[in-house]
Structure 1
Amino acid sequence: MTHTPASPHAPVRPDWLAAVKERPLDPQRVIVDPHHHLWDRPGQRYLGEELLEDVEAGHQVVATVYVQCRSMYDLQRPEALQPVGEVRFATEVAKRSPRGIQLCAGIVGGANLRLGHAVAPVLDEMIEVSEGRLCGIRNATAWHADPTLISNPMPPPGGILLDPSFSQGVSRLTERNLTLDIWAYHTQLAEVIQLAQQHPDQQIILDHAGGPLGAGPYRGKQVDVMQAWDASLRTLAECPNVQIKLGGLGMRVNGFDLDQRASPPDSCTVAELWGPYLLRCIEIFGVERCMFESNFPVDKGMVSYGVLWNAFKRITAHFSEDEKNALFSRNAARTYKLDETWLGR
């Protein structure tokens, strides 16, 4: 396991979260959670047992996708190959999944794409150790010049998405039919657009609703942020190779500060606050290019797993059955090439 600096995210407080409990809405709705992490850090343990406790809390979660977070690196190996340890770790969690729930059915690893062409053997080893579960790669790319806007314990430098060597690495993903997840703030979406245009055959998934910022210099500027974010997303949506994840707004950089409340939010509150953003994403990208995500345990500092999925269900209460199936399970399963027999249709 790598040494990780203090987390920039709200700490998980089980007693605080327990103050609001809700029965799952539409409990038979099949869910594939396409974005979660696992780690064991000082004061922050969230491994397979903790994930299982959340996904078994009442909603019909049938599969999950693990996304890189620098966990369980193999520090005895050369730096480029250390992230293979994370893929191996997630694979072992997947193999221990209980009947009826496939944890880490897909794995998004963290091979350093700035290695350019040299990332190829790293990707090949990740594919091998994952036993077929590796479906994509993500690198740390969310960056802002303001030092208060940090969403990664080890913030990356700026400009990674436009680095020519990164672009070469993306080409190695395309050759292997692996997806590219991108976590970027709304202020970086021009870079995402350029990358998507440069690689029209590369499937790209934009994480966390495109990162609308609401903290630091953007606090109190929701209208201006939404206008800029909306305009960038509309341009990005013109790239047919891009999809978007709906969620991930429970980080401090988003400025909702739900953790500062005396009691945790209920699903009506979350739906009211996040709904305008998530519905706008669906309007812009269309139902078939969107998928709901938990972003746990990051967002668990703000909202419980059960309440979060209830909020998503409230936001889409007026959608058709087919649209709901697409947003809650089908799109994620197809994007990450999961076994759709789990979906029961």
Structure 2
Amino acid sequence: MSAYTGPVIDAHHHLWDLSLRGQPWLVDEPMIPFRYGDYSAIRRDYLPADFRSDTATAPGLRVIGSVFVETEWRREDSLGEMAWIHEVAERTGVPSVVTGHAVLDSPGIAEHLAAIAAFPLARGIRHKPGGAAVPERAAAEPTLLSDARWREGFARLAPLGLHLELQVPWWHLHEAADLAGAFEATRIIVNHTGLPADRSPEGLAGWRRALRVVAERPNVHLKVSGIDLPGVPWTADLQREVVLDALDIFGTARCMVASNFPVDSLWATYAGIFAGLREITADLSADEQRAFFFDNARAFYRIDEDRLWDRPPD
């Protein structure tokens, strides 16, 4: 087989204009604890021109669509980010579609979700549900995924055509599996490969077990992204085991690629991530490669052709 050369949809990236002061974690002091360590390098504007410049650095890579994911905009202006990103998309064509934010256990969640769904590019929401800092505390410190009031908000997603973007440590994915089984009509996409930060044999074994549990639910999908290790350059050799295990567990029909830029620019280049992913997946069939890099994201996010930046080949 050979490395993939077809069109790409980047299924998870961010944009921000810091002059709007929309993201407290990017503009306020002190800086917050962050899973990648010092993030001062991304406390700068990152707009469509910057994103397109990054995509252009990868030789032979043809990114023709993208998915914007919420950036922890200030909560007192909960719909401000949706209005801003839609204006940006209308003016620049980037992104193709949008994932917003909602606090699913908050008062007024019905009205908030209806307002999000009314935006034409809205496809889902993200609400980080918390969790234990280490696997050993997972049973004693469940996430909001198991909370009855939070689930009442979650139940409102599918009727509005929305899905959940789930960012949670892998040791809470059993809760996600239970949630997905209780709400089979609601789609969930696990962000950032289930966060396999611990690359010890024991850590990877736990991560694989957790992925297998949640992958049993057919309404759960996976983004292969967000697998930087602080202080370690992103290489195919470093990431090969994680990427191939994720594809094996979920199957190429339920996985999609994403950059998580500019966050992952802390320890990776855009060209490096996609060169590595193309090298790692070179032994997949042509159909499997296209599904992973393009077709799955286009179908999951319902991206119409007029929201792509170029027409994909038939």
TM-score range, shorter chain: 0.7 to 0.9
Select the residue among 95, 106, 120 that pairs with 2:90: 95
Aligned to 2:133: 145
8 A contact 1:135–1:178 mirrored in 2: yes
8 A contact 2:4–2:286 mirrored in 1: no
Aligned to 1:237: 215
1:156-208 Cα offsets, whole Å, 9 max, x none, are: x9622211111111111011121111001112112211211121111000011
Select the residue among 317, 321, 324 that pairs with 2:286: 321
Among all aligned residue pairs of Structure 1 and Structure 2, give the percentage whose two residues are the same amino acid.
Answer: 30
Aligned to 1:184: 168
1:238-285 Cα offsets, whole Å, 9 max, x none, are: 100000001211154xxxx32xxxxxx4xxx61111111111111111
Match of 1:250, SS state, is coil
The CA RMSD over aligned residues, in Å, is 2.1
User: TM-score under structure 1 normalisation?
Assistant: 0.75
Q: Please tell me the residue identity of whatever aligns with 2:10.
A: D
Matches within 5 A, 1:147-186: 159-186=143-170
Would you say 1:213 and 2:197 are equivalent positions?
A: yes
Structure 2: tracts of 5 or more residues without a match: 19-25, 28-42, 135-140
1:38-69 Cα offsets, whole Å, 9 max, x none, are: 22234332222321211233420101100011
Q: Please tell me the residue identity of whatever aligns with 2:86.
A: T
Q: Please tell me the residue identity of whatever aligns with 2:226.
A: G
Structure 1: tracts of 5 or more residues without a match: 1-24, 147-156, 215-220, 259-264
Match of 1:275, SS state, is helix
Aligned to 1:125: 115
1:209-263 Cα offsets, whole Å, 9 max, x none, are: 111132xxxxxx61111111111111111100000001211154xxxx32xxxxx
Distance of 1:237 and 1:45 partners within structure 2: 36
8 A contact 1:138–1:180 mirrored in 2: yes
Query: 1:143: Cα distance to partner?
Result: 3.3
User: TM-score under structure 2 normalisation?
Assistant: 0.82
Aligned to 2:313: 344
Distance of 2:104 and 2:89 partners within structure 1: 25
Aligned to 1:224: 202
Report the count of equivalent residues.
278
- Between 1 and 2, higher relative CO (CA 8 Å, sep ≥ 6) is seen in 2
Q: Please tell me the residue identity of whatever aligns with 2:51.
A: L
Would you say 1:36 and 2:13 are equivalent positions?
A: yes
